[in-house]
Structure 1
Amino acid sequence: MTDITHNQRIVAQFTRWAKPFAELPIHAQADAMARSLAACALEPTLNVLDVACGPGILACAMAPHARQVTGIDITPAMIAQAQVRQAAVGLHNLAWHIGDATTLPFAAQSFDRVTTRYSLHHMQDPAAVLREMKRVCRPGGRIIVIDATPSPETWDGYDAMERLRDPSHTSALPLDELRRMGKDAGLSEAVVEAYRLEAQLETLSDEKDMAALTAMFDADIASGQDRIGVGAWRTPEGIRFHFPVSILAWHIA
């Protein structure tokens, strides 16, 4: 019952946020996307799966560099936004599915690349998701995970902020935890790198949560201790901060 409840929470959150999420410039930021595509090491002959694909931003960016890209997401409204994006850019080598990342509806060894971006922190069992990604990836292929990775010292503070902003958030794992998870899954590291993604708080949350979020960020800024781990600062337009993000790519033997 817990898994069903959490999945319903994800669908509710991202049904409400599907269109705003798809339109936020931060999700298609050029340097971050270039780093992501480089880690994927795409080739024109490859079949790619994007897990928890959201509004298809990464999937559509990969499609010109691959033979076929498939996106899967649990939220129908997100898949609808992905189809809108696909039509807008005129891509034809994309397919979309609605489904759960922990039980992917694909045969073993179906894809050459399996990606997921900004999604693992919504999963109750991220290790199970990674195992499913490995199952559907062919030998010689590559699994790529891109997600927020707070430091161990700011892990609790970061998660507290994200849960207030997004009730479907579970936990953003520090980089060493992600690396350990990959090792436990029998994966060999190919790429490990980090970047910071600048954001404005007021664009990333429902209005009903803004007072509490603003108070949390203001207290963190005033303390000078950066307990949230995002290096927040105030500007005339509002509060700005950096998401700490890592890219991990693993090779399938």
Structure 2
Amino acid sequence: MTTQHEVNQQQYQDKSEAYLNSIVHAQGIEFEKIREVLQQQSFKRVLDLGCGGGHVTYHIAPDVEQVIAYDLTAEMVNLVLQQASQRNLNNVIGQQGPAEKLPFDDQSICCVVSRYSAHHWQNVPQAMSEIFRVLKPKGSVIFIDILGNQQPVLDTFLQSIEIIRDPSHVRDYSLAEWMTFAERAGFKIDQIEKQNLKLNFQSWVERMQTPAEAVATLRYLQQKASDVVKNYYQIQPDGSFQSEVMYLVLTKPE
């Protein structure tokens, strides 16, 4: 029986370089926001949860005493450690594992940052519980992720193209779902912002090595979509589109 974690590992085991070199992943207005939170709170030990190509790690390492690059895929962790060494970021360590079972002591992490990772997790409520456990009191967790939608026609379209492009996709959660996850885990909601992410269709599918028949299905769905869907996602003639992104800051109470 193949687990969701195994599907995820199979999908990403040969794509670390693609994510390292991805402009979408390397750039974003959220990096400065993350650094402001870290600097204001003087956080020392930070977990980059679902580190992928390591862009969060590279941005925040100069501001903290230690960054833990953590990912389900060992190749991603190894790449980040190599890049950190080349960039003289000597305070970066790496560890492989799932978000749902963090190998860290209770109250041992000052801050957790997770960017474009949670939509791959097998069990977000369980991961949130683990994050809450390892965070120190007054510690923060910062999530950046693609948002699902409460309107069925918009949400069905988004989830469909995501999983056709990448079979390891689980779900882009709506803001209401995120609020429920946060509150049930015990977090206080500090900040919620939305931003738009423009995605070039060709690089989007190339990064995931999406097979030609799946690419054809994606284009078919885009072309057959209603005007409501096309306008909301700003679907262009070449297939490029935009998604809504959540920037969420939560705090663990004292």
TM-score normalised by the chain length of structure 2 = 0.90
Aligned partners of 1:43, 1:93: CA distance in 2, in Å? Answer: 19
Task: Encode CA deviations 1:139-165: one digit per residue, 9 max, x unaligned.
Answer: 011111111112211222211110001
Q: Give the aligned partner of residue 64 of structure 2.
A: 66
Aligned partners of 2:78, 2:243: CA distance in 1, in Å? Answer: 27
Which of 185, 197, 220 lines up with 1:215 in the alignment?
Answer: 220
Q: Check conservation: 1:151, 1:174, Cα contact below 8 A.
A: yes
Q: For structure 1, which segment, 123-132 or 37-46, has the greater mean C-alpha deviation from structure 2 after superposition? A: 37-46
Q: Check conservation: 2:30, 2:247, Cα contact below 8 A.
A: no
Which of 94, 103, 106 lines up with 2:104 in the alignment?
Answer: 106
Aligned partners of 2:235, 2:86: CA distance in 1, in Å? Answer: 35
Q: Give the aligned partner of residue 159 of structure 1.
A: 159
**CA shift at 1:80, angstroms?**
2.0
Q: Check conservation: 2:81, 2:92, Cα contact below 8 A.
A: no
Name stretches of at least 5 consecutive residues in structure 2 with no aligned partner.
Answer: none
Q: For structure 1, which segment, 70-79 or 81-90, has the greater mean C-alpha deviation from structure 2 after superposition? A: 81-90
Q: Give the aligned partner of residue 22 of structure 1.
A: 20
Aligned partners of 1:219, 1:37: CA distance in 2, in Å? Answer: 42
**CA shift at 1:30, angstroms?**
3.7
What letter corresponds to residue 111 of structure 1 in structure 2? I
**CA shift at 1:123, angstroms?**
1.3
User: 5 Å matches for 1:14-53?
Assistant: 14-40=12-38, 46-53=44-51
Q: Check conservation: 1:112, 1:138, Cα contact below 8 A.
A: yes
Q: Cα 1:228–1:68, aligned 2, differ >3 Å: closer, same or farther? A: farther
Aligned partners of 1:169, 1:228: CA distance in 2, in Å? Answer: 24
RMSD: 1.8
SS of corresponding position for 2:228: coil
Q: Give the aligned partner of residue 78 of structure 1.
A: 76
Q: Give the aligned partner of residue 236 of structure 2.
A: 233
Q: Check conservation: 1:150, 1:229, Cα contact below 8 A.
A: no
Q: Give the aligned partner of residue 192 of structure 2.
A: 192
What letter corresponds to residue 155 of structure 1 in structure 2? D
Task: Encode CA deviations 1:208-253: one digit per residue, 9 max, x unaligned.
Answer: 2211111112223xx312169522112xxx3221121101111111
Task: Encode CA deviations 1:143-188: one digit per residue, 9 max, x unaligned.
Answer: 1111111221122221111000110001110011101110111110
Q: Cα 1:180–1:228, aligned 2, differ >3 Å: closer, same or farther? A: farther
Identity %: 25
What letter corresponds to residue 173 of structure 1 in structure 2? Y
Q: Give the aligned partner of residue 227 of structure 2.
A: 224
Aligned partners of 2:40, 2:53: CA distance in 1, in Å? Answer: 20
Q: Cα 1:173–1:19, aligned 2, differ >3 Å: closer, same or farther? A: same
TM-score normalised by the chain length of structure 1 = 0.91
SS of corresponding position for 2:229: coil
Q: Check conservation: 2:35, 2:63, Cα contact below 8 A.
A: no
What letter corresponds to residue 187 of structure 1 in structure 2? F
